[in-house]
Amino acid sequence: MYWVYVIKSRKDEKLYTGCTSDIEKRLEYHNKGKVRSTRSRRPFELIYKEEFDTLALARKRENYLKTGNGRSWLKDKLSLLLNSK
């Protein structure tokens, strides 16, 4: 199984979208500063994830979520999730 995930920086409130086969370990790497692109924005919290059967499907979804349409979809989805709590 592969995951596309979105984490939110508690420092600057910005989002990061990625792909992994071990979501817990990957979040730990982000929070320990082992990921260069997010090191200065720690700590992070996981705010969204989707599961896929193949790496190819997960990468395709990750790439979509990084487009303008994907970011807009994600913003709407997160808004719905936050308002339903």
Q: What is the pLDDT of residue 85?
A: 57
* DSSP-derived secondary structure letter, 67: S
What residue ranges define each of the domains in the chain, with the CATH number in brackets? 2-83 (3.40.1440)
**Residues 11, 41: contact at Cβ < 8 Å?**
yes
Average pLDDT, whole number, for the chain?
95
CB atoms under 10 Å from CB of 44, counted, come to: 22
Q: Is pLDDT above 90 for 84?
A: no
Mean pLDDT of 15-41: 97
What DSSP element (H or E) covers 47? strand 44-52
Q: Is pLDDT above 60 for 78?
A: yes
Mean pLDDT of 36-57: 97
Percent of the chain with pLDDT over 90: 91
